[in-house]
Amino acid sequence: MDKQLIVEAILTALEAKLAVARSSTQRAIDAATDEETVPEHKYDTLALEASYLAHGQAMRVLESENELNLMRQLKLRDFSQQAIAVGAYVELEDELGKQQCFFIAPCAGGLEVNYLQASIYLLTTQSPLGKLLKGKREEDEVTLTIGEKSKIYDIVTVR
């Protein structure tokens, strides 16, 4: 398991996300400034709505750029003898024996990347599971409770 290759996969996914956001922003700007969106009367709000959409898409571009910059600045280290923190690769196993792979990231929680035909999910330390894992070590156990449901995870691998 090469964490640098995982980070490269994450960067590729974030760059693709940024490209989509930029494209969406441009389409929204084009719609807001198109001749067909010029208001015909005071109740015609198509141009105004399109400008709101363009602003929202521009904010999405900024967020994507920030995520990309944070991931580029991430310093990788080995966590095999340390507590889980940002930059750790973690494998969990639930009580049914199902394993899941996570990368503790500074941002982009929920993003899924593929590495060696395995799915790796990004977790931030602000997420419920990320909060539980922070500070834990290999062979520890955590219990995630959401609503009335609880799920127990064994920490199998930390790198």
- Best CA proximity match to 157, nearest among 110, 95, 102: 102
For residue 16, how many C-alpha atoms fall within 13 Å in the half-sphere facing its CB?
Answer: 9
List C-alpha distances in Å: 120 to 8, 88, 94, 113: 13, 12, 16, 5
Which two three-digit tokens encode residue 27?
Answer: 């389409």
Per DSSP, helices labelled H in 89-148 are 128-133
pLDDT at 46 over 90: no
Q: What digits encode the pLDDT tens for the residues 55-89?
A: 999 999 999 999 999 999 999 999 998 999 999 99
| Nearest C-alpha neighbor of 96 from the set 18, 154, 12, 11 | 154
Q: What pLDDT is recorded for position 145?
A: 95
Assign 50 a pLDDT band (cuts: 50, 70, 90).
Answer: confident
pLDDT over 70 percentage in the chain: 98
Give the number of other Cβ atoms within 10 Å of residue 150's Cβ: 10
